[in-house]
């Protein structure tokens, strides 16, 4: 009865999947997976009060993930909340591409790992110590995740490609707190620790010590053109700097593509997510740069342009 009532409230508020969200909130209050909701006992009076309060907040378009405190991403449950961009399901496609590319480079042809030390001024185990990072073997692929936010892409790659050395870069202090929390949680769970670096991805000297060494560079930058109207959950709750990329949405992508060309080793690969209106613009930027080849546009499950990949050209003498 409570869930049915919640479905009506959420539907009236314009929530796209009111039943699914009503059930997810009920499962959260009961502390059970959604798939076991039918087997759980009903909501006790205090739980019902809490449930109704959460439904009321969701009806104001507060993000579901802020209410539950977590966001699912591939095989991860990430802590999220105010100050960090909530990872979207479509970004799992870019992360999956990155995992595949890192696996292809595992065991040969990759970079030498950091030997367990925080060589970039970040921390392999958030909190300022790299003591938990076991040395990586030579040939481990070096993967860099720019605009890391909650750490979704970086932590997915680290979990699914434990041979990789993964570096996550984020500039926002609020987002860094969530990134470090998630990285610490995943390291405690046994995943390969990631190196967390506080830096602006548009800095021309970004990760200077890694120039020519990166095997896979991934980026989900702010890319929404400023004039685009976004849903209330995004407008009121996602950080503005993590959503909008200037008038045409490319203000961050342009410097990232330029810097990536210096960070990538010859033959290294780049994957960057972008707005669905950028299906021609981002490939054109990569082609015009002249340092990339094998430029390819990738579409999401709805058939919209979602991310573009490219390979760093080999020096002319090596071709």
Q: Look up residue 132 and give its two tokens.
A: 């938990």
pLDDT of 126 reads 37
- The three-state secondary structure class of 317 is helix
Average pLDDT of 185-203?
A: 97
Residue 127 has pLDDT above 50, yes or no: no
* String of DSSP letters for 195-216: EEEE--TT-TTTTGGGTTTEEE
* String of DSSP letters for 93-149: HHHHHHHHHHHHTTTSSS----TTS-TTSSBSBTTTB-TT-PPPPTTPPEEEEES-T
Model confidence at 285, pLDDT cuts 50, 70, 90, reads very high
pLDDT digits (tens, 9 = 90+) for 41-63: 888 999 999 999 999 999 999 99
pTM of the model: 0.89
pLDDT of 123 reads 44
Residue 299 has pLDDT above 90, yes or no: yes
pLDDT digits (tens, 9 = 90+) for 15-45: 999 999 999 999 999 999 898 887 788 889 9
pLDDT over 90, % of the chain: 83
Model confidence at 161, pLDDT cuts 50, 70, 90, reads very high
Residue owning tokens 């499950």? 301
Q: Look up residue 72 and give its two tokens.
A: 């699912």
Model confidence at 317, pLDDT cuts 50, 70, 90, reads low
Residue 137 has pLDDT above 80, yes or no: no
pLDDT of 314 reads 87
The angle formed by the CA atoms of residues 177, 180 and 184, to the nearest 5 degrees, is: 140
Residue owning tokens 């949680």? 185
> Measuring CA to CA, which residue among 160, 143, 134 is closest to residue 105?
143
Residue 113 has pLDDT above 80, yes or no: no
pLDDT digits (tens, 9 = 90+) for 205-242: 999 999 999 999 999 999 999 999 999 999 999 999 99
Model confidence at 138, pLDDT cuts 50, 70, 90, reads low
């Amino acid at each position: 009865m409570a869930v049915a009532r919640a479905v009506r409230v959420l539907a009236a508020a314009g929530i796209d999947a009111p039943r699914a969200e009503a059930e997810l909130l009920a499962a959260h209050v009961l502390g059970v997976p959604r798939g076991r909701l039918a087997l759980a006992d009903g909501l006790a009076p205090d739980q019902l009060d809490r449930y109704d309060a959460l439904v009321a907040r969701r009806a104001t378009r507060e993000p579901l993930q802020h209410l539950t405190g977590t966001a699912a991403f591939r095989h991860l449950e990430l802590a999220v909340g105010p100050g960090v961009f909530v990872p979207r399901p479509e970004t799992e496609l870019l992360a999956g591409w990155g995992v595949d590319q890192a696996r292809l480079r595992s065991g040969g042809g990759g970079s030498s790992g950091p030997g367990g030390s925080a060589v970039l001024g970040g921390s392999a185990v958030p909190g300022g110590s790299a003591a938990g990072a076991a040395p990586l073997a030579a040939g481990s692929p070096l993967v860099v995740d720019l605009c890391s936010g909650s750490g979704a892409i970086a932590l997915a790659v680290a979990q699914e490609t434990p041979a990789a050395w993964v570096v996550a870069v984020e500039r926002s202090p609020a987002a860094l707190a969530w990134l470090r929390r998630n990285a610490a949680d995943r390291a405690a769970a046994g995943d390969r620790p990631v190196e967390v670096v506080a830096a602006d991805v548009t800095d021309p000297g970004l990760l200077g010590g890694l120039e020519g060494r990166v095997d896979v560079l991934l980026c989900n930058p702010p890319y929404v053109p400023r004039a685009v109207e976004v849903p209330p959950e995004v407008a009121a709750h996602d950080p503005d700097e993590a959503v909008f990329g200037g008038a045409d949405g490319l203000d961050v992508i342009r410097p990232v593509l330029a810097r990536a060309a210096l960070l990538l080793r010859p033959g290294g690969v780049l994957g960057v997510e972008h707005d669905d209106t950028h299906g021609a613009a981002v490939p054109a930027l990569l082609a015009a740069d002249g340092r990339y080849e094998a430029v390819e546009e990738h579409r999401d499950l709805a058939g919209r342009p979602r991310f573009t990949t490219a390979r760093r050209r080999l020096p002319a003498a090596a071709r």
